[in-house]
Structure formats: C-alpha cells, structure tokens
C-alpha cells in the first residue's frame, strides 16, 4: 500500500477537516493534496482502489475523492464495502472524472457519489465542491 500523509496547519472553513484522495495519477494526487492542504485540510492519498478501505478505516476522513476511471462492474460492491466501514457510512464521496469520460450526474448519484468533479481540476472548483459537501454532511 502506497500512501502519502501530509498535514499543514491552516485556517478557514476547511481547517481541521480530513480528506482521503484516491487517484492513480501521481500528478493528480499531488495537485489535490497541495490544494486541500493549502486550505488547511489534513490529507491522505492512495494510488489504488484496494488501498482505499484500509486508509479510510485508519484515517477517518470527512470527505473522500475517488478517481472514477477505476470503476467497473465490481465498483458498486466496492462502494458498498466502503460504506460498511463505520467511519465512512455518511462521508461524502466525490467522483473525480476526466472531462472526456464525464459521467451522467444521476448515474453517479445512483452509485453513491454525492458529487462529481470534472478533470482538469482547478483550485477553485475543488475548494467549492469540498466546502459544499462538508456543509451538507454537517
């Protein structure tokens, strides 16, 4: 399991919140971590779907961002497994979707995602969607 845990003290509405980032691209993981950390969040990043449940169990995130390019026929069962972890039952899931593969929002909602964030990701769009999801989870 490859993980990177980073934390910078911060201020603002995202300070002291925790995000789990799961994306197969090192550059995307690093970008997401930097943006979220710059907004005061504690972030743990993993590079593969199989790392997500263990990281979520240990890290207890407030929000989880998942790369949807990993998804296949087994994905609904994987999401159900993730939801069965007590720390993740009500945690908002944000789908990270390449613009070319941008999924139908209703199909992502049916799969269990609270929101979809299209790639390429901007700092403003990431901050806005995370704030919105955390406000809805409160």
Q: How far apart are CA 67 and CA 116, in angstroms?
A: 10
pLDDT tens profile 33-73: 999 999 999 999 999 888 999 999 999 999 999 998 776 65
Q: How many helices (H) and strands (E) does the chain have?
A: 5, 6
Confidence of residue 5 (pLDDT cuts 50, 70, 90): very low
Domains of the chain in start order, with CATH, are: 3-137 (3.40.50.2300)
pTM recorded for the entire structure = 0.85
Higher per-residue pLDDT: 25 or 100: 25
Do residues 7 and 37 touch, judged by C-beta distance below 8 A? yes
Q: How far is CA 47 from CA 27, 69, 81, in A?
A: 11, 12, 18
Confidence of residue 7 (pLDDT cuts 50, 70, 90): very low
pLDDT tens profile 76-129: 778 888 888 888 889 999 999 876 555 566 677 777 889 989 888 999 999 999
Confidence of residue 12 (pLDDT cuts 50, 70, 90): confident
């Amino acid at each position: 399991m490859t993980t990177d845990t980073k934390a910078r003290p911060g201020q603002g509405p995202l300070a002291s919140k925790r995000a789990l980032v799961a994306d197969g691209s090192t550059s995307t993981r690093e970008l997401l971590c930097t943006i979220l950390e710059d907004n005061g969040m504690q972030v743990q990043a993993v590079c593969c779907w199989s790392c997500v449940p263990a990281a979520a169990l240990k890290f207890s995130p407030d929000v989880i961002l998942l790369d949807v390019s990993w998804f296949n026929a087994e994905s609904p069962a994987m999401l159900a497994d993730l939801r069965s972890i007590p720390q993740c039952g009500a945690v908002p899931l944000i789908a990270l979707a390449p613009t070319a593969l941008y999924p139908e929002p209703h199909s992502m909602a049916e799969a269990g995602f609270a929101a979809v964030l299209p790639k390429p990701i901007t700092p403003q769009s990431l901050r806005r969607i995370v704030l919105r999801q955390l406000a809805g989870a409160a």
